[in-house]
Amino acid sequence: MDVAEQFADRKIALVTGANKGIGRGAAEQLAALGMTVLIGARDTGRGAAAAAAVRAAGGDAHAVELDVTRASTVQQAAEWIEQRFGRLDVLINNASITGSGQVSPEDAVDQVPSTVKLDMVREVFETNVFGVIAVTNAMLPLLRRSAGARIVNVSSHAASLTLIGDPDGPFAGLLPSAAYSPSKTALSALTVQYANELRKDGILVNAVAPGYVDTDSNNHTGFLTVAQGAAVLVRLATVGDDGPTGGFFSEDGPLPW
Write down the least CB distance from residue 216 to ligand NAP, Å.
4
Binding site for ligand NAP (CB under 6 A): 16-17, 19-23, 42-43, 46, 66-69, 94-97, 127, 131, 154, 156, 209-210, 212-213, 215-218, 222
Write down the least CB distance from residue 16 to ligand NAP, Å.
6
Task: Considering the complex, state which of residue 123 and residue 144 has its C-beta at the smaller distance from ligand NAP.
Answer: 123
Task: Considering the complex, state which of residue 2 and residue 119 has its C-beta at the smaller distance from ligand NAP.
Answer: 119
Task: Considering the complex, state which of residue 21 and residue 59 has its C-beta at the smaller distance from ligand NAP.
Answer: 21
Q: Shortest Cβ contact with ligand NAP: which residue?
A: 21
Using DSSP, state whether 104 is helix, strand or coil. Answer: coil
The two beta strands, 248-250 and 253-254, are: antiparallel
Using DSSP, state whether 148 is helix, strand or coil. Answer: coil
Task: Considering the complex, state which of residue 71 and residue 147 has its C-beta at the smaller distance from ligand NAP.
Answer: 71
Write down the least CB distance from residue 110 to ligand NAP, Å.
17
Which of 7, 57, 64 lies closest to 39, judged by CA? 64
Relative orientation angle of helices 131-143 and 71-85, to the nearest 10 degrees: 20
Residues whose CB falls within 8 Å of the CB of residue 76, separated by 6 or more in sequence, listed in order: 65
Q: Which of 85, 180, 248, 249 is catalytic?
A: 180
Write down the least CB distance from residue 228 to ligand NAP, Å.
11
Residue 180 falls in the annotated catalytic set? yes
The two beta strands, 150-154 and 204-208, are: parallel
- Written as one letter, the residue type at 235 is R
> Around Cβ 143, how many Cβ atoms within 10 Å?
23
- Could you give the residue numbers annotated as active site? 180
